[in-house]
Amino acid sequence: MHILKEHKIKYLSRRIDEIIEIKQSLVLKDFNSAVFIGHKLKGNGVTFGFPIISQIGIELEEAGKTKNLPRVADAINRLVEIIEKGLKDLI
């Protein structure tokens, strides 16, 4: 299945809002966003041609379930790197 470039750009751009949401919820020690968004990423990264995002989603979901802040932070940092590189390559 071929995903159009503009759809990939939109997909990656939407992840930025999710990262902000996770960071805001972590300030309140709320890991629910990490679990929920991680689960979504697990399911949709491959669909849009980003299997690494699906893998990070798995790790983010698990880290959120165990309330492991360092692992959540690591997953977020790697996700930011993937998004930045992906957008740079596409634009």
Does residue 1 surpass a pLDDT of 90?
Answer: no
Domain interval for residue 13? 5-90
The two tokens of residue 78 are 């790697």
Number of domains in the chain: 1
What is the average pLDDT score of the chain? 96
N residues, the chain: 91
The two tokens of residue 59 are 């790790």
Note the pTM of the prediction, 2 decimals. Answer: 0.92
What phi, psi does 62 have (nearest 5°)?
-65, -40
Residue 6, classified by CB atoms within 10 Å of its CB into exposed (0-12), middle (13-18) or buried (19+), is exposed
Distance, first Cα to last Cα, the chain: 21
Distance CA 25, CA 8 (A): 26
- Residue 36, pLDDT score: 97
Check which CATH number belongs to the domain holding 62 and give it: 1.20.120.160
